[in-house]
Amino acid sequence: MLQLGLRENRSTFSPGEELAGAALWEGDAPPTLAEVRLVWSTKGKGTGDAAVVETVAFADPQAGDTRPFSFRLPAAPYSFSGKLISLVWAVELVLQPGPRCDRREIVIAPGGAEVLLPRLPKKT
């Protein structure tokens, strides 16, 4: 079992804010790797893109463990949705071997509101 919890159960943030939380896992044996990643990826039409922006690796993880983590969220890119793609931010807890993963999607944008790109009017 593994679980990510975000402080105050928040899922929306402004750029530059601190994101804090705790990672919890239980298993039969200590994982060989336990880390939390701040990632973004695109979803929609066409080949997706993704990036790991920052990683917090936990030293000497135990079979059952709870670890705090925090990220200073970047200035960009914003969470957005257009017609073809959405850019989605997420925090992921990754354990190896497995891999086992828990993921929480978040919004990083001014005012914590995903940017919705305007649609161009259809040509007539």
Q: Could you tell me the smallest distance in angstroms from the CB atom of residue 36 to other proteins?
A: 22
Burial class (CB in 10 A: 0-12, 13-18, 19+), 51: exposed
Binding mask 10-39 for other proteins (x = CB under 8 A): ------------------------------
Binder of other proteins out of 84, 101, 103, 113 (CB under 8 A): 84
CA dihedral sign, ordered 12, 18, 65, 96 = positive
Residue 53 contacts other proteins per CB under 8 A:
no
Pairwise CA distance, residues 38 & 55, whole Å: 6
The residue type at 85: I
* Residues binding other proteins (CB under 8 A): 43-48, 81-86, 88, 116, 119
